[in-house]
Structure 1
């Protein structure tokens, strides 16, 4: 599955469970490990987990692969590794503190 189709599936899955502030960052000029990072915010740890589960289900249903999921125990910040796309689902305070958007955009 190409990255653009994968991104569309991910965005739809995130919007379905009401994620907000969804940001897609192309990182192909920075790293060869993956092509895009998607960052989304959730209002609770329960919602971060639901969002991560929905992303996994939708990607698998479309024939994609889920390589790993990190952060499920705490739920503040979940990372879903889909190969060419890495999805970060974060609580707003965690997202603000780590500011991944600025980190990846400044280097891009």
Structure 2
């Protein structure tokens, strides 16, 4: 059974991921993928990748998400790439969100990197 502090942290992470996913759904983001990176990275607990249909849609999805994170009391998210709106990174601490235009997402394919199976201390050459 987790300690009260650990349970509180788990509740905060769950609230953050639910807020992010709800905001992306509300904004009509496409191909939303949520990846649990707990134990795989110290960057955060979840990585979410989504697409917008155009520069304008990516920008609108990101703006809506930034406001939702703030309104939920999850703090001020750090944002990169909003001015170009090809790939916007929104880091809320527990949840890192990437919003791409489809062709940019396909080019970088970052969800494949993070969804790779864990290798149990094996090395592939």
* Alignment TM-score > 0.5, same fold: yes
| Structure possessing the higher radius of gyration over alpha carbons | 2
TM-score after normalising by structure 1? 0.93
Quote the offset at 1:107 in angstroms. 5.1
Q: Report the Cα distance in structure 1 between the residues aligned to 2:86 and 2:67, rounded to whole angstroms.
A: 20
Q: 4+ runs of 1 displaced by more than 4 Å? A: none
Alignment-derived partner of residue 93 in structure 1: 103
Of 44, 52, 55, which aligns to 2:54?
Answer: 44
Of 41, 47, 65, which aligns to 1:31?
Answer: 41
- The alignment's C-alpha RMSD in Å is 1.3
| Number of aligned residue pairs | 108
Which runs of no fewer than 5 residues in structure 1 stay unpaired? none
TM-score after normalising by structure 2? 0.81
Quote the offset at 1:15 in angstroms. 1.1
| 1:25-70 superposed Cα distances (whole Å, 9 cap, x missing partner) | 0112221221110000100111111111111111111111133100
Which runs of no fewer than 5 residues in structure 2 stay unpaired? 1-10, 119-125
* Structure showing greater relative contact order (alpha-carbon pairs closer than 8 Å, 6 or more residues apart): 1
Q: Report the Cα distance in structure 1 between the residues aligned to 2:110 and 2:69, rounded to whole angstroms.
A: 23
